Amino acid sequence: MNLDLTEEQQLLKNSARDFFERELPKETVKELETDPLGYSPELWKKMAELGWCGLTIPEQYGGAEFGLLELVMLLDEMGRASLPSPYFSTTVLCAPLITNAGSEEQKSELLPKIASGELIFALALTEPTATYEPDGIETTATFDKDSYILNGTKLFIHDAHCADYIICVARTQVWATPEEGISIFLIDPKSPGITITPLQTMANDHQNEIVFDNVKVPAANLIGEIDQGWPVIKRILDHAIVAKCAEMIGGCDWAVDASVEYAKERVQYGHPIGAYGSIQHYLADMWIECSMGRRMTYYSAWALQEGEPTDMVIPATKRWVNEAYKHCTRMGVQIHGGIATTMDHDMGIYYRRARQGALLFGDTQASLQKVAMQLGL
């Protein structure tokens, strides 16, 4: 056992911290929240140059072939910087999906362009059913001659508005169990019959509604085996939960650090408020929650990467990080006082992101249900 970061990991984390402190002022974050595109193509290009867009893509396809653990460390920093970008959709969700399930042709065509930052992807998974379980997939894809015809509505889809490709999860067959009969398609968002409508959310995280109205998709655009898509999605979702936790814990860390620093500076009744026991105890609790969440997140990433059992620890981690991030940002506002409730202050970005992130890829209730199942209840 060695719980220190390797030199390479430390370097990645440090360079990410420096990069975002230099390149991403909070003013830019706030501007991008309401910007229709939602990210800075200039920053994206620089991130690609640093090799981050292809961080976990195999070397043969132009990537850096790092593991999930390294990805998680980078996401930790991205969360801390509150980076608005299609990084999660593209590099965390879609790139490994293509790596795991794509044909040789798809991989050699798409992955190098993801790594170089040329292509942005969105994963169209969730629907108005609002669940990450397979029974939520109601969008249909019907085989017709040499193509599939897609019909249905995808909802809560991040970055679809700016994606060069959409990877859509649809039902191709109704079988005995909801896991069966699901297939994955690579879709050009400009195909006739697709309507993409941006959604306004609490975190301004650029989600969209996508309506598929008799959208014709060439049969060659199937990713993986027909009807066998769910195991591919399930694997991506496990990675996504851990990755989302990393991003969230980075934000949580920012909230704790900012609160500690503020408590040292802000003077009331003649003392810095950080000298008062009540504030000290809030901060100690916040530090503990955040630190424990990071440990769980890194362990989950390691376990997933090494093929160790994760059915218990992954939902447990999500539950922990959800509540830690929500609590630390709520207390972050409390410690900063009235100013933190305003748009002028940065805490609001994290407060809103915490509540958004806590619902993505498994909210607390869904996570606890999974834990209860693992307990055999």
Measured distance CA(287)–CA(294) in Å, rounded = 11
Are the CB atoms for 217 and 191 separated by under 8 Å? yes
Which helix (H) or strand (E) segment holds residue 19: the answer is helix 7-23
Measured distance CA(168)–CA(125) in Å, rounded = 6
Q: Does 291 bind another protein (CB under 8 A)?
A: yes
Binding range to another protein, per CB under 8 A, among 84-92, 130-138, 236-244, 312-320: 312-320
Q: Does 242 bind another protein (CB under 8 A)?
A: no
Which helix (H) or strand (E) segment holds residue 191: the answer is none
Please say which residue, 343 or 375, places its beta carbon nearer to another protein: 375
Q: CA dihedral in degrees (292, 293, 296, 299; nearest 10)? A: -100
Binding range to another protein, per CB under 8 A, among 140-148, 214-222, 313-321, 326-334: 313-321
CA distances from 154 to 263, 302, 344, 346 (A): 44, 32, 34, 32
Among 62, 274, 332, 362, binds another protein (CB under 8 A): 274
Q: Does 3 bind another protein (CB under 8 A)?
A: yes
Q: Does 45 bind another protein (CB under 8 A)?
A: no
CA distances from 177 to 137, 182, 270, 373 (A): 12, 10, 66, 18
- Cβ neighbour number for residue 252 with a 10 Å cutoff: 32
Q: Does 366 bind another protein (CB under 8 A)?
A: no
Among 174, 176, 343, 375, binds another protein (CB under 8 A): 375
Binding range to another protein, per CB under 8 A, among 41-49, 97-105, 116-124, 316-324: 316-324
Please say which residue, 177 or 278, places its beta carbon nearer to another protein: 278
Among 299, 325, 350, 361, binds another protein (CB under 8 A): 299
Are the CB atoms for 141 and 150 separated by under 8 Å? yes
Residue 199 backbone phi and psi in degrees, to 5 = -110, 140
Q: Does 363 bind another protein (CB under 8 A)?
A: no
Among 55, 69, 81, 111, binds another protein (CB under 8 A): 69
Among 29, 83, 92, 263, binds another protein (CB under 8 A): 263
Q: Does 276 bind another protein (CB under 8 A)?
A: yes
Measured distance CA(84)–CA(81) in Å, rounded = 9
Residue 256 backbone phi and psi in degrees, to 5 = -70, -50
Footprint of another protein (CB under 8 A): 1-6, 9, 69, 260, 263-264, 271-272, 274-277, 279-281, 283-285, 287-288, 291-293, 295-296, 298-299, 302-303, 306, 312-313, 316, 319-320, 367-369, 371-372, 374-377
